[in-house]
């Protein structure tokens, strides 16, 4: 098991390094620099700005400096949000995005698992068909469609929720639902498949014949097995959530790092784009690593395979 | 019994408190909520670069001159001024008893420090050239001269003297920009670059910065040491980039005023928010620029032909329908004290123009079998695409085959600065000063002369105008320069933009104006 974990860790570290390097150089290949605006810029002023942000050094030197700082946990000054460092900005934005992501994940799990369990108990029944239709509709409504519609209905027309901002918990309700909807559909499908499969297992049939109450059978005998595939889905789910928060934060004006990402990329704010990339890459790689390890614990075949 | 009732009472009080916090906290009648068009990149007036930052900086600082509620220039930190006969020395007398927001007296020395800081190469101020008319400023910014060589001094604590290298009659206008705002040297000495943090903040405007949540909001409170009374004690600016989101947040009552909303909602707003809608002209110029270094656009006949068939009124009234006004001159017709020179073909009918354009293209060697082909570049977005599609449609009458190429704003202007285009859409939001527009076509201005227009005669007249201290004489000379540009068809003026705002009828004192400035200190909540 230890060997397996070390191997996964090593892979994660290499992937992280490759992502960071590729993004660093790709950014600088994009046309237009951080100080290009519509306004005039005399050459001496451009020189002053480049010197202030180390942009006058050769690319390799810039890359070296960037790596040195990264090792020390310093992401540098933001080129565009001049009054903040990238660390400041991420410290302000990450809690917003994390709250949104976590709320959406919980909501997606609750909705998705309920639908999946209910549908998976009687696969092929009319009830199953109805639930899965609802779920398919959810899948077909991406955040970018759901979010503006929800604002129109619940903020503008009904005035139940605010249309934007992040001042209170109230502000997070609509965006996390908008994010959770497409995700819940995937979860429902996986859950339904797991439940349908496990209901044919002998131990479940035995439990039924012994006259155990249904909730107890579901909870004790079916869920632990049926929800295993969900664990492997958590990795991709977090990736879906991260890209989703970028959209939701734009539509709902939430000050999270997803919004920084879009603005920073448009503004060629090199350091901020790098900073957010690092946070995203780190989040996805860590979760995938945890999933891999959890899988190793649950499924002995993986442990054996890695030892061989 | 007694005890139990007490418990019950206590519970009720706690419940009431919780309910109070939950339901009343977000709503407070005293705070003004404004949707700004984006996130400020800095609140350091010498490092700023964006119009949306000017909005905030105008509330936080007070320059020598400032705007009144209707966008007109009025005395600010300076009570009065006079200029020498040769137009080179400007003497400002500061208002009595000026203070920073921490109560420290504000003197002319603070202005001297601030003007020097702007030109300091270490400040790396991207708009330092706004004050290049000050004696020795460009050399100081290059690092060739010490800061002390700058043409600014303080003979007394309330007198400030600015010495220019050339007469500049628009100086008072130019002082309206944040680049000329004073910054607190005593705070900068103590905290360095961190002086802009809310916990260290000191400024001299009607408001002070109290909180800044990046991408969330910027909070300001009234400055107790400001010389005038204000009606609103707290204001919160939100960065609302998406116009639809701004519109929604106004409609749901979260924002009192918004800077822009989608053009498509204009009719809806006219119907449902007539008392809040403000559509007004913005002092600006949207135009097409030819790459005069690239054939065949180096040929004035081709440029003229393409200009002749453009109908600006159709673009504004039929295509854009945003309240924008058609433009027939390169310096906006909205400029005060300047009579802009219109395109020479304005008096002709559209049939005459089409015929003339056909002949010009023929003479330049283009015809049905050898049509003129070009790429028109523009900034992405639905509205821009519509306008530019309409333009290619107008050119098609001449058999011109134009294709569109759109790019995100930053890429677009990067390409323009590198002169990598045939014909391109460009825009300029300027000050009340024709020179601000005309110098864009000066051959030695640098890469904002996107089309690399090069007319020695035009340069000569412009240089001559720049030696003139009298505003009327100078503007007269500038007209001659503009006439040359217009006859050379260096650009095709299209329209001046319009600003679409929604401002709650609860607010008074918000007047539409050409510069679209609305300082909070002039606003009041209606009782």
The shortest CB-CB distance from B214 to any of A48, A255, A268 is to A255
User: By CA distance, what is B249's nearest residue in A?
Assistant: A163
Yes or no, beta carbons of A83 and B197 under 8 Å apart: yes
**Chain B residues with CB-CB distance to A88 below 8 A:** 214
Which pLDDT score is estimated for A304?
Answer: 56
- Whether A157 and chain B come into contact, CB under 8 Å, resolves to no
Q: How far apart are CA B78 and CA B469, in angstroms?
A: 21
Q: Give A4 to chain B, closest Cα distance, Å.
A: 42
- Whether B249 and chain A come into contact, CB under 8 Å, resolves to yes
Which pLDDT score is estimated for B26?
Answer: 40
Domains of chain B: 61-185 (3.90.76.10), 207-281+499-525 (3.40.190.10), 284-496 (3.10.105.10)
Q: How far apart are CA B527 and CA B246, in angstroms?
A: 25
Backbone angles phi, psi at B213, to 5 degrees: -95, 110
Q: How far apart are CA A293 and CA A102, in angstroms?
A: 21
Q: How far apart are CA B434 and CA B339, in angstroms?
A: 9
Q: How far apart are CA B451 and CA B455, in angstroms?
A: 12
- In this predicted structure, the answer to whether residue A151 has a pLDDT above a threshold of 50 is yes
Which pLDDT score is estimated for B27?
Answer: 37
* Burial class (CB within 10 angstroms; exposed 0-12, middle 13-18, buried 19+) of B398: buried
Backbone angles phi, psi at B82, to 5 degrees: -145, 155
Out of A148-162, A201-215, B11-25, B458-472, the most confident range is B458-472
Q: How far apart are CA A274 and CA A67, in angstroms?
A: 11
Which pLDDT score is estimated for A32?
Answer: 67
**CA dihedral in degrees (A251, A255, A259, A261; nearest 10)?**
-170
Backbone angles phi, psi at B524, to 5 degrees: -140, 150
User: By CA distance, what is B449's nearest residue in A?
Assistant: A40
For chain B, which ranges sit under pLDDT 50?
A: 1, 3-6, 8-9, 11-29
Helix (H) or strand (E) holding B508: strand B507-508
Interface test mutation site (partner A, options B252, B430, B448, max chain A beta carbons within 10 A): B252
Q: Between residues 70 and 89 of chain A, which touch chain B (CB distance below 8 Å)?
A: 80-84, 88-89
- Whether B53 and chain A come into contact, CB under 8 Å, resolves to no
Helix (H) or strand (E) holding B380: none
**Chain B residues with CB-CB distance to A89 below 8 A:** 214
- Whether B410 and chain A come into contact, CB under 8 Å, resolves to yes
The shortest CB-CB distance from B446 to any of A40, A88, A253 is to A40
Q: How far apart are CA B33 and CA B29, in angstroms?
A: 10
Which pLDDT score is estimated for B187?
Answer: 97
What are the pLDDT digits (tens) for B407-429?
A: 877 778 888 888 899 999 998 88
Cross-strand pairs, B105: B99
Which pLDDT score is estimated for B365?
Answer: 93
**Is the Cβ–Cβ distance between B320 and B264 less than 8 Å?**
no
CA angle B493, B494, B500 (to 5 degrees): 130
User: How far is Cα of residue B76 from the mean position of the Cα atoms in its chain?
Assistant: 19
**Is the Cβ–Cβ distance between B462 and B481 less than 8 Å?**
yes
**Is the Cβ–Cβ distance between B237 and B34 less than 8 Å?**
yes
**Chain B residues with CB-CB distance to A276 below 8 A:** none
User: How far is Cα of residue A8 from the mean position of the Cα atoms in its chain?
Assistant: 20
**Chain A residues with CB-CB distance to B415 below 8 A:** 31
Cis preceding linkage at B296, omega within 30: yes
- Whether B127 and chain A come into contact, CB under 8 Å, resolves to yes
- For residue B433, how many C-alpha atoms fall within 13 Å in the half-sphere facing its CB? 18
What is the three-class DSSP state of B105? Answer: strand
ipTM of the shown complex: 0.77
Yes or no, beta carbons of A39 and B126 under 8 Å apart: yes
User: By CA distance, what is B24's nearest residue in A?
Assistant: A168
Which pLDDT score is estimated for B502?
Answer: 95
Yes or no, beta carbons of B215 and A52 under 8 Å apart: no
- In this predicted structure, the answer to whether residue A210 has a pLDDT above a threshold of 80 is yes
Q: Give A215 to chain B, closest Cα distance, Å.
A: 36
**Chain A residues with CB-CB distance to B123 below 8 A:** 48
Interface test mutation site (partner A, options B215, B273, B440, B445, max chain A beta carbons within 10 A): B215
Q: How far apart are CA A155 and CA A172, in angstroms?
A: 13
Residue whose token pair is 């609860």: B506
Which pLDDT score is estimated for B429?
Answer: 85
Q: Between residues 223 and 242 of chain B, which touch chain A (CB distance below 8 Å)?
A: 238-242
* Residues ≥6 apart with Cβ < 8 Å to B483: B341
Yes or no, beta carbons of A37 and B49 under 8 Å apart: yes
- Whether A229 and chain B come into contact, CB under 8 Å, resolves to no
User: By CA distance, what is A50's nearest residue in B?
Assistant: B124
Q: How far apart are CA B50 and CA B259, in angstroms?
A: 14
User: By CA distance, what is A44's nearest residue in B?
Assistant: B142
The CATH number of the domain covering residues in A86-307: 1.10.3720.10
Q: How far apart are CA B396 and CA B394, in angstroms?
A: 5
Candidates A250, A264, A258; CA nearest to A77 is A264
Yes or no, beta carbons of B214 and A88 under 8 Å apart: yes
Which pLDDT score is estimated for B481?
Answer: 94
Give the mean pLDDT of chain A.
83
- Which residue stretches of B323-408 are H helix? 350-363, 382-396
What are the pLDDT digits (tens) for B11-22?
A: 444 444 444 444
The shortest CB-CB distance from B128 to any of A45, A166, A259 is to A45
Region of B526 please: left (phi>0), alpha (psi -120 to 50) or beta: beta
The shortest CB-CB distance from B126 to any of A45, A88, A268 is to A45
**Chain A residues with CB-CB distance to B216 below 8 A:** 92, 165-166, 255
Yes or no, beta carbons of B242 and A250 under 8 Å apart: yes
What is the three-class DSSP state of B91? Answer: strand
| Distances from the Cα of B221 to the Cα of A60, B103, B106, B236, angstroms | 46, 15, 20, 9
- In this predicted structure, the answer to whether residue A186 has a pLDDT above a threshold of 90 is no
The shortest CB-CB distance from B214 to any of A40, A92, A266 is to A92
3-state per-residue secondary structure call for B491-512: EEEEEECEEEEEECCCEECCCC
Q: pLDDT band at residue A306, thresholds of 50, 70 and 90? A: low
- Percentage of chain A with pLDDT > 90? 6
**Chain A residues with CB-CB distance to B258 below 8 A:** none
* Residues ≥6 apart with Cβ < 8 Å to B27: none
**Is the Cβ–Cβ distance between B334 and B496 less than 8 Å?**
yes
What is the three-class DSSP state of B346? Answer: helix
- Whether A139 and chain B come into contact, CB under 8 Å, resolves to no
């Amino acid at each position: 098991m230890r060997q397996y974990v070390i191997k996964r860790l090593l892979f994660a570290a290499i992937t992280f390094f490759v992502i960071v390097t590729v993004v660093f150089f790709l950014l600088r290949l994009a046309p237009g620099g951080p100080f290009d605006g519509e306004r005039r810029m005399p050459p001496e002023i451009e020189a002053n700005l480049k010197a202030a942000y180390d942009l006058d050094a050769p690319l390799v030197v810039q890359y070296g400096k960037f790596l040195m700082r990264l090792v020390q946990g310093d992401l540098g000054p933001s080129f565009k949000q001049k009054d903040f460092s990238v660390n400041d900005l991420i410290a302000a934005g990450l809690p917003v995005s994390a709250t949104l992501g976590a709320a959406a994940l919980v909501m997606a799990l609750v909705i998705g698992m309920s639908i999946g369990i209910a549908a998976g108990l009687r696969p092929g029944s009319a009830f199953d068909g109805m639930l899965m239709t609802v779920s398919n509709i959810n899948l077909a409504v991406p955040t970018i469609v759901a979010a503006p519609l929800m604002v129109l209905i619940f903020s503008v027309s009904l005035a139940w929720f605010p249309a934007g901002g992040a001042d209170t918990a109230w502000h997070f309700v609509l965006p996390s639902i908008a994010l959770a909807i497409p995700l819940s559909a995937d979860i429902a499908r996986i859950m339904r498949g797991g439940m349908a499969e496990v209901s044919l297992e002998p131990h479940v049939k035995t439990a039924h014949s012994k006259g155990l109450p249904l909730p107890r059978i579901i909870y004790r005998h079916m869920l632990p097995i049926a929800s295993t595939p969900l664990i492997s889905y958590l990795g991709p789910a977090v990736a879906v959530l991260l890209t989703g928060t970028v959209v939701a934060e734009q539509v709902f004006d939430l000050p999270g790092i997803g919004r920084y990402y879009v603005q920073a990329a448009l503004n060629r704010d090199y350091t901020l784009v790098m900073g957010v990339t690092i946070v995203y890459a780190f989040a996805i790689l860590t979760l995938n690593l945890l999933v891999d390890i959890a899988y190793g614990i649950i499924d002995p075949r993986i442990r054996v395979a890695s030892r061989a | 019994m007694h005890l139990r009732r007490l418990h019950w009472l206590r519970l009720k009080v706690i419940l009431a408190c919780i309910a109070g916090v939950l339901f009343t906290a977000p709503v407070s009648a005293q705070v003004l909520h404004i949707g700004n068009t984006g996130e400020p990149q800095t609140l350091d007036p010498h490092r700023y670069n964006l119009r949306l930052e000017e909005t905030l900086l105008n509330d936080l600082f007070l320059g020598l001159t400032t705007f009144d509620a209707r966008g007109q220039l009025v005395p600010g930190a300076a009570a009065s001024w006079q200029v020498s006969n040769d137009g080179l020395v400007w003497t400002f007398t500061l208002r009595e008893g000026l203070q920073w927001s921490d109560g420290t007296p504000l003197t002319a020395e603070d202005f001297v420090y601030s003007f020097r800081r702007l030109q300091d190469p270490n400040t790396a101020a991207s708009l330092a050239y706004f004050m290049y008319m000050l004696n020795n400023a460009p050399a100081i910014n290059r690092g060739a001269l010490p800061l002390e060589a700058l043409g600014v001094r303080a003979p007394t604590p309330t007198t400030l003297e600015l010495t220019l290298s050339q007469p500049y009659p628009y100086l008072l206008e130019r002082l309206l920009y944040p680049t000329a705002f004073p910054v607190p040297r005593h705070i900068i000495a103590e905290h360095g670059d961190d002086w802009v943090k809310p916990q260290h903040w000191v400024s001299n405007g009607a408001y002070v910065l109290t909180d800044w949540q990046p991408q969330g909001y910027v909070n300001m409170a009234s400055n107790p040491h400001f010389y005038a009374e204000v009606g609103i004690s707290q204001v919160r600016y939100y960065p609302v980039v998406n116009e639809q989101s701004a519109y929604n947040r106004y409609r749901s009552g979260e924002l009192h005023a918004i800077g822009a909303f989608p053009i498509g909602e204009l009719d809806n707003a006219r119907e449902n928010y007539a008392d809040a809608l403000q559509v007004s002209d913005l002092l600006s110029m949207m135009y097409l620029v030819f790459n005069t270094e690239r054939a065949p656009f180096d040929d004035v006949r081709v440029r003229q032909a393409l200009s002749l068939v453009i109908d600006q009124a159709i673009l504004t009234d039929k295509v854009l329908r945003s309240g924008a006004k058609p433009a027939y001159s390169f310096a906006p017709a909205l400029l005060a004290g300047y009579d802009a020179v219109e395109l020479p073909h304005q008096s002709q009918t559209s049939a005459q123009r089409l015929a003339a354009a056909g002949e010009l293209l023929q003479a330049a060697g283009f015809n049905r079998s050898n049509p003129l082909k070009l790429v028109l570049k523009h900034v992405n977005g639905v509205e821009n695409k519509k306008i530019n599609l309409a333009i290619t449609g107008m050119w098609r009458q001449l058999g011109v085959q134009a294709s569109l190429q759109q790019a995100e704003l930053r890429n677009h202007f990067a390409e323009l600065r590198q002169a990598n285009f045939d014909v391109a859409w460009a825009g300029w939001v300027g000050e009340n000063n024709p020179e601000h527009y005309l110098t864009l076509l000066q051959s030695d201005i640098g890469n904002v002369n996107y089309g690399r227009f090069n007319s020695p005669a035009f340069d000569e007249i412009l240089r001559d105008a720049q030696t003139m201290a009298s505003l009327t004489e100078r503007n007269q000379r500038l007209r001659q320069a503009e006439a040359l540009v217009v006859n050379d068809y260096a650009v095709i003026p299209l329209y001046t933009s319009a600003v679409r705002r929604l401002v709650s009828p609860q607010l008074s004192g918000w007047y539409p104006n050409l510069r679209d400035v609305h300082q909070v200190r002039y606003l009041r909540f209606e009782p």
